[in-house]
Structure 1
Amino acid sequence: MPQHSTHRVRIGDLVPADSPRLNGVDQAHVRRLSAVYASLPPVLVHRSTLRVVDGMHRIGAAVLLDLDTVEVQYFDGPEDQVFLRTVTVNIAHGLPLSVAERKAAAGRILASRPHMSDRAVAACTGLDAKTVASVRVRSAAGSPPLNTRTGTDGKTHPLDRTAERIHAAELMTRDPDLSLRAVVRKTGLSLGTAHDVRRRLLRGEDPVPPSRQSGPPPGAAPVAKDGPRDGSGTPVAPAAPAPGGRPVSPRARSPLDTLRRLANDPSLRQSDAGRDFIRWLHIHFVVDEAWHKRADAVPPHATESIAEIARHCSDTWRRFAEDMSRRKHAGVPRGTDLHATQPTRR
């Protein structure tokens, strides 16, 4: 049967619409429609229930003209989509819905479909997404929050992308030349979110916006607003004093921030040896998030071997750190191969 085929149905057999209109049928509009009734489109009716989806004013005009039947087109969707379709078609044509009616419709949709995103509800009701968000706050009072939303593309998207943002920051830190589309494929973030993470890293900010950072779990050590952070930019509890008794500064620069600054240091970027050193540092840079994700892959019989390798690497890094400190305090100049060749100034 063609999708747009029409049928003649008795008015008495139809069930009135579950209309979003707060004041019901507008009789003045019914009289206007009766004058042009022959040019009006068919009434939209839900096939299985015969409930009117769109066209109550047209039916009123038919009654005013003493007609017993109307031309209808059938809507074959599930019954729980009837109101959603009613709202959608009413904002597309006919007597416009008021802002109050559209807000009330958005509240009803959110109550029955809390998983729908603000943009998806906005597309159905003719409101903007920010207005839908404010309606959601009022309609969701006392309800448990959801961590997923269904967007206008019909796909389910998680609201909390903290873990994915941290993973993206780690990937970008390890490989500054990694394309955003590659980050998207590896993390599942949207292209816009991946771009936001990169901008935050370039500005020296956390990859996770402050508004999306959850507080510490019950019983956890308090974390100062400007306190130390780990390599992924995540706030951590203040560090204990160093073995020598000197406390770690709460404003100490995070390793991730230090690595970013080094990567942008002209004295390193403007020479082949300097760029090679930064690439080497990126490859070997490790944050807790990285090994936490991979630790479960180690079989029990290999744990001691892995631990031995880790301790060896730790000792190597310690010796490297001590050598860097000695160079700083002894004033040992860097090799000339790390300096960029500069033109002679006259």
Structure 2
Amino acid sequence: MSEVTEIPISEIQVAGSLRTKGEDPRHIDALAEVWRSLPPVVIHRQTMAVIDGVHRLRALERSGVTRVKAVFFDGDDREAFVLAVKLNAGHGLPLSLADRKAAARRMLADFPEWSNRRLAEATGLSDKTVGTLRSRAEIPHPASVRLGRDGVAYPVAAAEGRSRSLAFLTVNPGASAREVALASGVSLTTAKDVIRQVRAAVQEQQAPDARAGGGTVTERPKERPGAEELAHAVRRLRADPSLRFTEVGRKLLCMLGGSAAQPQDDWAEMASSLPIHCAPVIAELARHHAESWQLLAESLTERLNAGHAEE
């Protein structure tokens, strides 16, 4: 954006609004009381339309001001809209949830290649909400890549293919690279890479065996990790690219985040503090989630055992 300059209010256009309820008279009244200290408005140079600062502009008009401090933005209409949403979602009179969702739907049409996180950052929504809006949006030509917040293009098809490969390997841990490629619709090279990543992750997380001199394995009982150790393990998993950049991995990380390890004393305190009329339903939900996690643990253990047998 340009440096601050002064322009006649008569040259500025107010076209449309991001807010379904329009301008807020009470907010204008409040700004009019401090009109001398208001920050500059942001103007789209190409159209002279207000990008950010309509309420400030109205407050200055009410105060009899004819010229206003402004900064110019150079870009097309789509970029100007994105900037307007970013600025209005984060300061002054924030956009409502409905307004931010409406803005996200328009951005999905204008920038289908943007990742959910990049759109979430622009609209002040969560990436999950953007993902839900994307699944319901009618995008005639979905992008084959997603541009992340770092500006890097990530192939959508490649990520989905890796997710299918991981899901297939979960059920068929002993599958060959060719079988994975055929079942998941990915190249043989990608299948080999996924298998290599999975095996590397397994080896990294396995504790070294304590072996006796005669080649026999002496297994020592494993101590259950504490809450702090488990929290550290979750942080390590969140940093693993093979989880962060795949649909299955992200789903698992989300589940881990929602069920962070708690010390036993915390669970006992929670149980004693929850309303008694909710206890039956919460207990049943806890049992259901415990059974689900137990099933995942058993499936992963079977994979580990199968890997040892092959070796």
TM-score, with length taken from structure 2: 0.56
**Alpha-carbon contact 1:172-1:178 (below 8 Å) kept:** no
- The answer to whether structure 1 residue 168 and structure 2 residue 193 are counterparts is yes
Cα offset for 1:153? Answer: 1.0
Give the total of aligned pairs: 202
Q: 1:196 & 1:156 partners in 2: Cα distance?
A: 15
Gaps of 5+ in 1: 181-189, 198-206, 213-256, 269-277, 279-346
After superposition, the C-alpha distances for 1:250-297 in whole angstroms (9 at most, x for unaligned) are xxxxxxx999646524xx9xxxxxxxxx4xxxxxxxxxxxxxxxxxxx
Q: 2:133 & 2:201 partners in 1: Cα distance?
A: 41
Return the match for 1:45 from 40, 43, 46: 43
TM-score, with length taken from structure 1: 0.51
**Alpha-carbon contact 1:5-1:73 (below 8 Å) kept:** yes
Per the alignment, in what secondary structure is the counterpart of residue 101 of structure 1? helix
- The answer to whether structure 1 residue 143 and structure 2 residue 140 are counterparts is yes
Per the alignment, in what secondary structure is the counterpart of residue 22 of structure 1? coil
**Alpha-carbon contact 2:202-2:304 (below 8 Å) kept:** no
Matches within 5 A, 1:266-285: 278=311
- The answer to whether structure 1 residue 100 and structure 2 residue 98 are counterparts is yes
After superposition, the C-alpha distances for 1:165-213 in whole angstroms (9 at most, x for unaligned) are 5232343588789989xxxxxxxxx97442579xxxxxxxxx9959x9x
Q: 2:103 & 2:244 partners in 1: Cα distance?
A: 33
Return the match for 1:156 from 117, 132, 153: 153
Per the alignment, in what secondary structure is the counterpart of residue 90 of structure 2? coil
Equivalent in the alignment of 2:8? 10
Return the match for 1:28 from 23, 26, 29: 26
**Alpha-carbon contact 2:42-2:51 (below 8 Å) kept:** yes
Partner AA of 2:70 in structure 1? V
Equivalent in the alignment of 1:194? 242
Q: 1:93 & 1:36 partners in 2: Cα distance?
A: 16
Gaps of 5+ in 2: 163-185, 206-237, 252-300
Q: 1:89 & 1:105 partners in 2: Cα distance?
A: 12
Q: 1:59 & 1:86 partners in 2: Cα distance?
A: 15
Q: Percent identity?
A: 32
Q: 2:124 & 2:244 partners in 1: Cα distance?
A: 28
Equivalent in the alignment of 1:113? 111
Return the match for 2:308 from 264, 273, 277: 264
Q: 1:32 & 1:175 partners in 2: Cα distance?
A: 61
Cα offset for 1:17? Answer: 4.6
Higher relative contact order (CA 8 A, sep 6+): 2
RMSD: 3.6
Q: 1:209 & 1:136 partners in 2: Cα distance?
A: 18
Per the alignment, in what secondary structure is the counterpart of residue 157 of structure 1? strand
